[in-house]
A and B are shown apart, each in its own frame.
Chain A
Amino acid sequence: MVHKQLPLKHYFIEPLWKNNQVLVAILGICSALAVTTTLITALTMGIAVSLVTGFSCLFVSLLRKWTPDSVRMITQLAIISAFVIVVDQFLRAYFYDISKTLSVFVGLIITNCIVMGRTESMAKNVPPIPAFLDGLSGGLGYGWILVLVAGIREFFGFGQLFKYQLIPASFYASAENPDGYQNLGLMVLAPAAFFIIGFFIWISNSITKDS
């Protein structure tokens, strides 16, 4: 098989940029719109998706020789959902505040196309270690885009980064100073993420085309 000749490093590096799941494969967009209003949630989501994808790929790959072809999708989904529930339960126990804001979206990792995309296109064809690395970095590739988008949205939408106020309160418009600065309300809404991700895809396309 072709995959076996590639160095392990390749599996980890490839999905971060050249085969980035958000920028190149345009997967996982729906959750990228939803959880990128603040950096904390985007970061948590990125880590959660990385872990779920990594471990799902690992187990799909471990079982690849025993999995009958006709039920391989169901097998992948069962493994993915088990890990998603584990992550959800873990967040609920130790990061209650974050799990309150992320609740719905953590459950929706199951339907995140990245996880199934990686298990179906890579993990079921390669040995466990490369599969794990590929899955992990597939999630990380999604995570760093999310963090970037969230950084832009949080800064312009709330004037904050990681809930830390960066734009001083004195800049803001008030009764005495009606012409002052105002947060960009559009950034808080989902369409803003749509534009920003579109912009990123455009940049990444023009860079890859040049090289």
Chain B
Amino acid sequence: MSPPVNRKNSNLYILIFIILLCTACGLLLAIVAYSLKGPQEAAKTFDQSKQMLIAAKVLNHQGEFTLIQEDGSLLLAYLDKQEGILKAVQDKKVAPATKEEIQQLAAWRIRPLLTDSEGNISTLKAHNLSLADYLSSNKGGGYATLPHKLFYAILSNDATVKNLSEEEVAKEMEKVSIIVIPVSGFGLWAPIYGYLAIQRKDADSVIGTSWYEHGETPGLGANITEAWWQKQFYGKLIFQEGSDGKTDFSTGEMGIIVVKGKVKDVFGASPKSKSAVDGMSGATLTGDGVTKAYRDSLSPYRNFFIQLRKEEGNGTQATST
């Protein structure tokens, strides 16, 4: 069976052996990568819409639907497929949402839209763009720096809105309850990608945040994906108040600050504390990266937020809140 020893040790034999081996391995990997590409992309896209719903507090980290109340508390909910809305459950238990339910809800409630630096809203279709292409070709540089910046409109939990097209939503922003801004930046080890969900009404206070791609250290920086850390974001303000307690919407600093340590130790009760969250011990550099990611990703949307505030009749001059 086996080749004679002297032939096995000749250079030509070794060369041919290695070439054949590498070709076989390469072929195997190419086939595997090709045949698994579909499910991989699907898993990734699904995870992104899941994270977006988590940021918007429509889904919790246990995979159960939730309804957010005025005071920020969460009620467990189930999806009524007939009406197409979420309904709170009376008892404290609810089955985790299935994949189909999550996809269905995402299709009913999420609309990707674009805004320019003036704050005008348009649809992807109006610019002959497809969402998948837009997402993949601009991911590296972030969406905030583009002339047409991406945001997601999360429609209200209302049976009448689920059939609205993107064009209709772009014209009637009052049907939208939450704005989700894609956030990107650099963590300690690798780029980080996530979402920040903001109330449409005041275009200032945060609903929640989540991250769908990162390379942070498990147990330290990777805590940015944990529920207990993300919980602190509710009600924080993306327009930071000045030291006099007034918000300067047109020039003031934007973003959420991840402090080193606890907010109350760093900012006390000063106005800045309304835009700051506690850091994670052992992950100061991740926190810095996250702070920078929020600032850089939110600032280009400034006029969009100001526009939203004007539509609601909220002041955009430096006001005391």
**CB under 8 Å from chain B, chain A span 79-115:** 79, 81-82, 85-86, 89-90, 92-94, 96-97, 100-101, 103-104
Asked whether B218 lies within 8 Å of A37 as measured between CB atoms, the reply is yes
With contacts A68-B17, A89-B40 taken as known, whether A82 is within 8 angstroms of B47 at the C-beta atoms is no
Known: A37-B219, A189-B219. A71 touches B32 (CB 8 A): no
With A70-B9, A78-B25, A86-B32 as contacts: A92 and B17 at CB distance below 8 Å: no
List the B residue with the shortest CB-CB distance to A102. B218
Q: Does B22 contact A (CB under 8 A)?
A: yes
Q: How many contacts between A and B, using CB within 8 angstroms?
A: 68
User: Secondary structure of the A side of the interface?
Assistant: helix
A89 with B18: CB separation less than 8 A? no
Contact B25 A82 (CB under 8 A): yes
The binding surface of chain B is classed by DSSP as: helix
Chain B residues lying within 8 Å of A93, measured Cβ to Cβ, are: 36, 39-40, 43
Q: Are the CB atoms of A89 and B33 closer together than 8 Å? A: yes
Set of chain B residues within 8 Å of A34, measured between Cβ atoms: 218
Bound Cα distance A66, B14 (Å) = 10
Residues in B neighbouring A75, C-beta threshold 8 A: 17-18, 21
On chain B, the residues within 8 Å of A70 by CB distance are: 9, 14
From B1, B25, B29, B36, A65 is in contact (CB under 8 Å) with: B1
**Are B14 and A96 interface neighbours, CB within 8 A?**
no
Write out the residue numbers on chain A whose beta carbons fall within 8 Å of the beta carbon of B14. 68, 70-71
Q: How far is the CA of A189 from the CA of B282 in the complex (A)?
A: 11
**Nearest-Cβ distance from residue A173 to partner chain B, whole angstroms:** 15
B141: interface (CB < 8 Å): no
B-chain residues with CB within 8 Å of residue A96 when the two chains form the complex: 43-44, 46-47
User: Number of contacting residues on A, CB 8 A?
Assistant: 31
The chain B residue sitting closest to A185, CB to CB, is B281
Q: How far is the CA of A71 from the CA of B22 in the complex (A)?
A: 13
With A75-B17, A82-B28, A188-B219 known, 13 other A-B pairs at CB within 8 A are: A37-B219, A63-B21, A68-B9, A68-B17, A70-B9, A74-B18, A89-B33, A89-B40, A90-B32, A90-B36, A92-B40, A92-B43, A101-B218
Give A contacts to B, CB under 8 Å: 34, 37, 63, 65-71, 74-75, 78-79, 81-82, 85-86, 89-90, 92-94, 96-97, 100-101, 103-104, 188-189
23 A-B pairs whose Cβ atoms sit less than 8 Å apart in the complex: A63-B21, A65-B1, A65-B2, A66-B17, A67-B17, A69-B8, A69-B9, A70-B14, A71-B18, A78-B21, A89-B33, A89-B36, A89-B40, A90-B36, A92-B36, A93-B36, A93-B39, A94-B39, A96-B43, A96-B44, A101-B218, A104-B215, A189-B219
